[in-house]
């Protein structure tokens, strides 16, 4: 009998089992209710976090969103090449300096024309944290009715992996190389873009990443629901295997370890009031995250400690703000 069983091809045995077993859809699949509007083969590198994110957003939010964005790794695919399109979404390409100003114009036009559209201003960290930060902050302060998504790959990847404001301490980039004694990677700490935006007290701010898709999907949907109340900002960690020296199959693992080490905590803020959406009971050392990629390979124990201290400090800050925001009432203005 055993002999006969061994003769059955493994694949067929597996198929038989899946036929009988009832497959319960995961929570994530419940969110994917729209078609993937992108072509099956597109011009991203293997394992690119940006590609996974870009495909996920319309499948959750709907294909009727209007995307606007800037020169970056997303542009070749979003803009199309040689008069050919890689997707069926509406897309409006803008300059890095004025991304949020352009999105403001689009969103205001739709509002004035009485068209219920969702404008998604989709940009890398180079635009969001550095080159286009001024008008991003202005749009947030004016509470413009659109969603701004920053996919953070921690550098200017499309132009050759230069450092940005969100590049972490110690990371190697082409402008913060590792080599001679004076060049040990970035010698500054990263800016906390998510917190900076939450401090604008906009209707909705959140962080998210690709290892926690249920959390990400809920935040995308919430932003869509809340965009009529005003500005919504999502800060999403999207690994870049090419620029980080990360194996393409480790993209999701990197996101998972970023969350589990509090390198990239998951939280949301409504009108500036912060709430953790995932609490890590026993955070892992940041080394469990950095060991996955070459950009941190040269870090000494002392360097790693600086990075760890920065992460611990930012997590404390986040925790402190969440307690404060829950306990303190904002003073009312005269109009209130």
Binding site for ligand TPP (CB under 6 A): 71-74, 96-97, 123-127, 131, 153, 155-159, 164
The yes or no reply on residue 79 touching ligand SF4 (CB under 6 A) is no
Q: Residues 148-177: x/- map of binding to Mg ion (CB under 5 A)?
A: -----x------------------------
Task: List own/partner pairs for 226-230 with CB under 8 A and 24 or more apart.
Answer: 227/118, 227/119, 227/145, 227/146, 227/147, 228/145, 229/145, 229/203, 229/204, 230/143, 230/144, 230/145, 230/202, 230/203
Structural Rg of the chain based on CA atoms: 22
Question: Do residues 149 and 206 lie in contact, with contact meaning Cβ atoms separated by under 8 Å?
Answer: no
With CB under 5 to 8 Å by kind, the binding choice for 48 among Mg ion, ligand TPP, ligand SF4, none is ligand SF4
Token pair recorded at residue 170? 């110690």
Please state the φ and ψ torsions of residue 289, each to the nearest 5 degrees.
-90, -50
Token pair recorded at residue 127? 């635009």
Question: What DSSP character marks residue 174?
Answer: S
Residue 268 parent element (H or E): strand 267-270
The yes or no reply on residue 32 touching ligand SF4 (CB under 6 A) is no
The yes or no reply on residue 252 touching ligand SF4 (CB under 6 A) is no
Which of 125/325 has CB closer to ligand TPP? Answer: 125
With CB under 5 to 8 Å by kind, the binding choice for 288 among Mg ion, ligand TPP, ligand SF4, none is none
The yes or no reply on residue 58 touching Mg ion (CB under 5 A) is no
How many Å apart are CA 126 and CA 3, to the nearest integer?
A: 62
Question: Do residues 249 and 296 lie in contact, with contact meaning Cβ atoms separated by under 8 Å?
Answer: no
Instruction: Tell me the window of 42-50, 170-178, 262-270, 277-285 that interacts with ligand SF4 (CB under 6 A).
Output: 42-50
With CB under 5 to 8 Å by kind, the binding choice for 192 among ligand TPP, ligand SF4, Mg ion, none is none
Query: How many residues lie near ligand SF4 (CB under 6 A)?
Result: 11
Helix, strand, or coil (residue 178): strand
Q: Residues 297-336: x/- map of binding to Mg ion (CB under 5 A)?
A: ----------------------------------------
Q: Residues 9-48: x/- map of binding to Mg ion (CB under 5 A)?
A: ----------------------------------------
Q: Smallest gap, in angstroms, from Cβ of residue 158 to Mg ion?
A: 8
The yes or no reply on residue 292 touching ligand SF4 (CB under 6 A) is no
State which of residues 47, 124, 203, 243 lies at the interface with Mg ion (CB under 5 A): 124
The yes or no reply on residue 45 touching ligand SF4 (CB under 6 A) is yes
With CB under 5 to 8 Å by kind, the binding choice for 45 among ligand SF4, ligand TPP, Mg ion, none is ligand SF4
Q: Which residues contact 119 (CB under 8 A, 6 or more apart)?
A: 65, 66, 68, 103, 106, 107, 110, 145, 146, 147, 227
How distant is the alpha carbon of residue 45 from its chain centre?
17
Residues in contact with ligand SF4 by CB under 6 A are 44-45, 48, 50, 73, 153, 157, 240-243
């Amino acid at each position: 009998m055993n002999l006969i069983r061994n003769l059955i091809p493994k694949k067929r045995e597996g198929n038989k089992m899946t036929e009988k077993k009832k497959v319960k859809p995961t929570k994530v699949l419940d969110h994917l209710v729209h078609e993937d509007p992108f072509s099956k083969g597109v011009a991203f590198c293997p394992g690119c976090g940006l590609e996974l994110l870009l495909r996920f957003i319309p499948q959750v939010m709907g294909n009727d969103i209007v995307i606007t964005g800037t020169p970056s790794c997303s542009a070749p695919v979003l803009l199309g090449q040689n008069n050919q399109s890689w997707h069926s979404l509406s897309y409006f390409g803008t300059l890095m300096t004025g991304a949020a100003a352009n999105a403001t114009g689009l969103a205001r036009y739709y509002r004035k024309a009485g068209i219920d559209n969702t404008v998604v201003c989709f940009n890398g960290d180079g635009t969001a944290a550095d080159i286009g930060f001024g008008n991003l902050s202005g749009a947030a302060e004016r509470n413009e009715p659109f969603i701004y998504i920053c996919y953070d790959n921690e550098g200017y990847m499309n132009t050759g992996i230069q450092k940005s404001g969100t590049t972490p301490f110690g990371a190697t980039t082409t402008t913060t190389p590792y080599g001679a004694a004076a060049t040990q990677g970035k010698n500054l700490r990263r800016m906390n873009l998510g917190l900076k935006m939450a401090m604008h007290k906009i209707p909705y701010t959140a962080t998210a990443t690709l290892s926690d898709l249920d959390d990400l999907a809920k935040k995308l949907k919430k932003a869509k629901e809340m965009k009529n109340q005003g500005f919504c900002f999502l800060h999403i960690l999207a690994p870049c295997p090419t620029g980080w020296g990360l194996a393409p199959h480790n993209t999701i693992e990197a996101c998972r370890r970023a969350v589990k080490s509090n390198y990239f905590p998951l939280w949301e803020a409504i009108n500036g009031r912060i709430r953790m959406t995932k609490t890590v009971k026993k955070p892992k050392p940041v080394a469990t995250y950095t060991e996955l990629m070459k950009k941190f390979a040269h870090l000494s124990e002392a360097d790693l400690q600086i990075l760890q201290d920065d992460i611990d400090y930012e997590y404390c800050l986040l925790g402190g703000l969440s307690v404060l925001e829950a306990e303190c009432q904002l003073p009312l203005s005269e109009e209130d």
